[in-house]
Structure 1
Amino acid sequence: MSTHWKKYFAILFTGQIFSILTTSMVQFSIVWHLTATTQSAVVLTLAGLVGFLPQAVLGPFIGVWLDRWNRKLTMIAADGSIALFSLVLGLYYYFGDPSLEFVYLILLIRSAASAFHAPALQAAIPLLAPEDQLTRVAGWQQMVFSVSTVVGPALGIAVYSATSLGLVLFLDVAGALIANLMLLFIPIRQPKPAGQQAPHFLNEFKLGWKTFVRARPVVIVTAATAIFSVVFMPLATLFPFMTLSHFGRGGYSASLIEAVFSIGMILGGLLLAVAASKLKDITYICWSLVVIGLACLGSGVIGPDAFFVFAVLSFVMGAASPFFNGPYMAMIQKAYAPEMLGRVISLVTSVMLLASPIGLLLAGPLVERYGIQPWFFWSGVVTVLTGLLLMAGFKKLQADQPASEA
């Protein structure tokens, strides 16, 4: 392990700030554009669906390739592809107004490229940082993500309102190019493949699955993550709809909610980075679910004049999120060998993303019929119960371990 790992992470995360910032600008601008022009929850959930589905479908299979391909080059190629199709959509918006079908197609392709980038990045992290620092690095990563996303929505709506969605997409191209340039300065060693025999896709896929299920704690948390994703992930798409339909406010208020959520994530990530070794990863995960669920539940019962309360609850959700995402990824990175991480991470990511389209398909018609608040309320109930059941399950698992060892 290199003694310069902190320097490498500084370079890596500096590049990612630009990439995530401009991507956040694009994502929010597209969501708000669709919200303002269609005012349809179904259109928004379809946009979310095409954004999730390719990653969910491809995830279990691309892990086999990720563990054999050069991870740095994979990240560069994936980010470059995302930039290319941002450029295509940007030119279309600059010279005209594309159809919804074309927007969905570009979102679909960008999602497919992201399916390679995100697992490759996560699988590369244990090759740069010591194992005992992985949870702390996860906290740093959450902070970088949050700093970018706190500025992204506000900057995106400002550029979108002053110019056009096309210019926002052009900025995404610049962000991807900067991130790729920074990656060139980071040496990332490539682990040897798990098997020395000739590559065989089906056998390697089966090996990845068998490796994944051996770590029972990770399997349990992944199952809980799938349940959580069904109810919570649609909210990421429907937050602007809540601002518009329930509170009757415009784009800047919607970007304010995104900003306070991200500020919460920044502070939560900072606290996780400082207190990473104080508690076990699973303790952070369980309490994070409980807190997020209570905040969602509260959002589902407040009145249309309580926008400030909604902003506070959004901040709480954001602050609790790093305590789920960071420890969960650190748990995975600690549980598996580096040469198997690509397929395991892509597999667990797919489980989460396969659950998300289910939630989006349910949320669209239900929100159209009953309104946005019931979805917030019942997603909060499910999330709290998931956290409490997970907490009880791990207590039982810890109680069974001494007996089995005896």
Structure 2
Amino acid sequence: MNSDTVWQRNFTFLFCSKLVKITADCFAVNTILWFLIFEGKGAIGTALLLAVSFLPQALLGPIITPLMKVDTLKFWMFFADITRALLMLAIPICYFSGFSPLWFILLLMLIHSATGASYNPASVSLIPKIVKGNLIQKANAVMQSSEHIVRLVGVTVCGVTIVAIGAARAMLITLPLYLLSASLVLFIKYKIKGADESESDRPKQKGTYFKKLKRGFTLVRSHHILFPLAIYCVFSNLASAPWEALSAVYIAEELGGDPIIHSLLKVTTAGGAFLLGYILAKVKVNRYGLLFVTAGIVEGIAFFVTGMNSLLPLVFLAALALGATISAINVPEHTIIQISVDDEDQPQVYSVISIISYVMIPLGAIVGGYAATVFGSGRVIAVGGIVEIIAGIAILLFTKLGKAQRIDMIREKEGNLKA
């Protein structure tokens, strides 16, 4: 087998496990969503579902990741999958037994979301352990491009399944999917760096739980590359939140479209993400920070173009650009963390940046929702784009993020190890 390909045994198991897990997640979230609608829970139920679907994993990430060790990453992923499997089995069993109050469903989905606090940081931190250093970017790009296509297929198949057998029965499909994902990850084997060294030669552990917890935040704050990246994540997510919250309303009220148009836009966005992910798997990048910020600026331009015109072809072109920027943002973000942060610190750093990013989404959605009632959803989406463009230009002018090369990230890692 060619040693210069990412498709070695371990990456193949991780790739298959993660795609199966994403399929299960699509079934889980969408079956619960339609289950609440069919049960008459209405807008309040679905809004609360969206809140508990992503906030817990962001908030709990920095709390859980200090407990992770390099040699236990796959077991954190395994137990996250097993927990989700049991949760998605409990809901239909309770429903068929006549017990399905809204608070109970939301409680279980809150726990479902919380497992992402361990799975996502562990899966991102595992990649540098199982692929060569010069293939990390390619591995991230392959994973990103494939994830978007699988999500699109998963949502489509889930919709058909719900129509055919009902939402409650469709939930049961998640059980074998999560179990399969959990089983595949156990086949991953990797050698811990320094495992052959004597006890005295090994690097010292980062201290107690609370010291590790604090280190995750202080490391991001003192990191010359990750700190501006985290700052730009704040503005980027704040700017994109209005589009996430108002896109359906904008299409229906200002463009005169329907759910089919909205679905086609999602397909176009997924296609853009896959295309750029495929390109990044083939092209070697040296300045990951420059790619990250440039993608954010392009995303801002796409938001501005979308919000300020009523021509549907331009909206679809913007959707294609939005999809491309998803991969162009996620791939360098993950790669920067994996290259410039020590193995032991990677889960904490990933979680700290995630909490900074995710918290801005509901804030931006709420502000955007109220502003849309006064100014219109299109203008609010456009203003979000302007914010992202201005923030991106400022980051390029006043920080080292856009100038940093791969060698600078390696030096940053070495400097943090000495700290």
**TM-score when scaled to structure 2?**
0.82
User: Residues 244 and 368 of structure 1: is their aligned pair in 2 closer, same or farther, counting only changes over 3 Å?
Assistant: same
More displaced 10-residue stretch of structure 1: 167-176 or 360-369: 360-369
In structure 2, how many angstroms separate the alpha carbons of the residues matched to 1:126 and 1:265?
23
Q: Choose which of 339, 352, 364 in structure 2 pairs with 1:359.
A: 364
The residue type equivalent to 1:145 in the other structure is: E
User: Residues 248 and 77 of structure 1: is their aligned pair in 2 closer, same or farther, counting only changes over 3 Å?
Assistant: farther
RMSD over equivalenced CA pairs, Å: 3.3
Q: Choose which of 321, 332, 341 in structure 2 pairs with 1:336.
A: 341
User: Residues 68 and 397 of structure 1: is their aligned pair in 2 closer, same or farther, counting only changes over 3 Å?
Assistant: closer
Provide, for residues 20-74 of structure 1, a one-character-per-residue CA deviation record: whole Å limited to 9, x for no partner.
123234435555777897775x765543332232122212221211236711110
User: Residues 311 and 211 of structure 1: is their aligned pair in 2 closer, same or farther, counting only changes over 3 Å?
Assistant: same
Corresponding residue for residue 126 of structure 2: 124
Corresponding residue for residue 22 of structure 2: 20
In structure 2, how many angstroms separate the alpha carbons of the residues matched to 1:391 and 1:376?
23
Say whether the 8 Å CA contact 2:6–2:135 is kept in structure 1.
no
The residue type equivalent to 2:315 in the other structure is: F
Superposed displacement of residue 313, structure 1: 2.2
Structure 2 unaligned residues grouped into runs of 5+: 195-201, 409-419
3-state DSSP of counterpart to 1:300:
helix
User: Residues 331 and 68 of structure 1: is their aligned pair in 2 closer, same or farther, counting only changes over 3 Å?
Assistant: closer
Provide, for residues 78-100 of structure 1, a one-character-per-residue CA deviation record: whole Å limited to 9, x for no partner.
12212222223344566779554
Q: Choose which of 164, 167, 171 in structure 2 pairs with 1:169.
A: 171
More displaced 10-residue stretch of structure 1: 318-327 or 131-140: 131-140
More displaced 10-residue stretch of structure 1: 370-379 or 128-137: 370-379
Corresponding residue for residue 58 of structure 1: 60
3-state DSSP of counterpart to 1:70:
helix
Corresponding residue for residue 389 of structure 1: 394
Identity %: 21
Corresponding residue for residue 298 of structure 1: 305
In structure 2, how many angstroms separate the alpha carbons of the residues matched to 1:22 and 1:246?
35
Superposed displacement of residue 324, structure 1: 0.7
Q: Higher relative contact order at CA 8 Å, sep ≥6: structure 1 or structure 2?
A: 1
The residue type equivalent to 1:16 in the other structure is: K
Structure 1 unaligned residues grouped into runs of 5+: none
Say whether the 8 Å CA contact 2:59–2:355 is kept in structure 1.
yes
The residue type equivalent to 1:208 in the other structure is: G
In structure 1, how many angstroms separate the alpha carbons of the residues matched to 2:182 and 2:378?
41
User: Residues 179 and 323 of structure 1: is their aligned pair in 2 closer, same or farther, counting only changes over 3 Å?
Assistant: same
Q: Choose which of 148, 151, 155 in structure 1 pairs with 2:150.
A: 148
User: Residues 72 and 227 of structure 1: is their aligned pair in 2 closer, same or farther, counting only changes over 3 Å?
Assistant: same
Corresponding residue for residue 226 of structure 1: 234
Residue pairs, 1:79-118, within 5 angstroms: 79-91=81-93, 98-118=100-120
Superposed displacement of residue 368, structure 1: 5.7
Provide, for residues 269-297 of structure 1, a one-character-per-residue CA deviation record: whole Å limited to 9, x for no partner.
001111233x5101211221111111112
Provide, for residues 175-199 of structure 1, a one-character-per-residue CA deviation record: whole Å limited to 9, x for no partner.
22221121122113456796448x6
The residue type equivalent to 2:117 in the other structure is: A
**TM-score when scaled to structure 1?**
0.84
User: Residues 347 and 373 of structure 1: is their aligned pair in 2 closer, same or farther, counting only changes over 3 Å?
Assistant: same
User: Residues 370 and 108 of structure 1: is their aligned pair in 2 closer, same or farther, counting only changes over 3 Å?
Assistant: farther
Superposed displacement of residue 355, structure 1: 2.3
3-state DSSP of counterpart to 2:188:
coil
Say whether the 8 Å CA contact 2:149–2:274 is kept in structure 1.
yes
3-state DSSP of counterpart to 1:187:
coil
Q: Choose which of 329, 332, 339 in structure 2 pairs with 1:324.
A: 329
1:10 aligns with 2:12: yes
1:208 aligns with 2:210: no
In structure 2, how many angstroms separate the alpha carbons of the residues matched to 1:361 and 1:67?
37
In structure 2, how many angstroms separate the alpha carbons of the residues matched to 1:185 and 1:300?
47
Q: Choose which of 258, 267, 270 in structure 2 pairs with 1:259.
A: 267
User: Residues 242 and 21 of structure 1: is their aligned pair in 2 closer, same or farther, counting only changes over 3 Å?
Assistant: farther
